[in-house]
Structure 1
């Protein structure tokens, strides 16, 4: 459901794979909601029977009204950015696999995409169908691609890139565990950055849990740098 309170817009839906937990998504990124909106969101979640309420990844500015409403940090995320140049990018890693193919994702790919997602992420971050839809709708323009080794093999990974004005976002990247380190992740990121460049984006942004050292190394190799203080996911236990 969408909550419209004054100028604030939030979405409340179940957290994937965790009964009794609700997810709050800010629909106007970069703008902190009012304290009354945060309180109203909590009351709505209680009325809908949730026992726990969790936010999407928030900046410290966006977090402030929820902290004042009693939310506490659940997980810290690294926020990374890099400028987007018009010149072509390439992955010079010695692990680069030249047989990786990237193509546009089709609707019939979605079950396989979610299977890759569940294999790649810990339960806290796994997407369900509603979460995948949210990722695809997070920005006005999107670029949804999948990777595979050849036409006869299943998907090895996928990426959702987005664009809003001059900002580009790597909104989701997942690689099958048995294919990690083989170049699919870098290939998908570079494909997304090239798409952003074609449409005039000047900076790309991505976030990942601070303990995800493999992802941090990959992003660093492709020119991303961390932007302190990062982001955080907040949580509030209800009915206490």
Structure 2
């Protein structure tokens, strides 16, 4: 199974994709179109990846019902994801920051801002930025700044 292989989408309970900055690390995620993977499916995929020369496997954010199978085969919690909410009723006054659509020429500036904002584990490279933009069927990229990008946002919507 090759990393980012299109064949992974239809019949497998798991999807494999490349991890930025490291050719020996891959990301293993449950396929959202299939039932949650079993420990044996995860173990078999890990064995296949090891034979292909990969040395490390990470997952993306998992739903509660998916975590157990990964823990059963030796995965450990690397980080916990915090999802925050706001009811939007009592908002503080805000300054106006005119955002504009991100263009291809903004790419280097976006990656520079990202590198300043995140440590090495989370910061994006070009492939990671592309993956973030393609993560949902509908996506928008916005930037703050003219020639010098000061901030960026990638948002998406699925379903």
* TM-score (norm: length of structure 1): 0.56
Return the match for 2:40 from 36, 40, 44.
36
Return the match for 1:12 from 17, 22, 29.
17
Q: Does 1:159 align with 2:117?
A: no
Please name the residue that 1:114 is paired with. 111
Give the secondary-structure state (helix, strand or coil) at the position aligned to 1:32.
Answer: coil
Length, aligned pairs only: 154
* TM-score (norm: length of structure 2): 0.81
Q: Does 1:64 align with 2:68?
A: yes
Q: Which runs of 5+ in 1 are unaligned?
A: 166-240
Q: Tell me: CA distance 1:110–1:143, structure 2 relative to 1, closer, same or farther (3 Å).
A: same
Please name the residue that 1:47 is paired with. 51
Work out the CA distance in 1 between the residues paired with 2:112 and 2:63: 29
Please name the residue that 2:131 is paired with. 134
1:77-226 → structure 2 map (5 Å cutoff): 77-82=81-86, 92-93=93-94, 96=95, 98=96, 100-148=97-145, 151=146, 153-165=147-159
Query: Which structure exhibits the higher relative contact order, with contacts defined as CA atoms closer than 8 Å and separated by 6 or more residues?
Result: 1
Q: Deviations over 1:64-123 (max 9, x none)?
A: 2111111111111212234689xxx96515xx4x4x320011122112111111111011
CA contact (8 A) 2:42 2:70 kept: yes
Q: Which runs of 5+ in 2 are unaligned?
A: none
Give the secondary-structure state (helix, strand or coil) at the position aligned to 1:81.
Answer: coil
CA contact (8 A) 1:146 1:158 kept: yes
RMSD value, Cα: 2.7
Q: Deviations over 1:204-223 (max 9, x none)?
A: xxxxxxxxxxxxxxxxxxxx
Greater strand content: 1
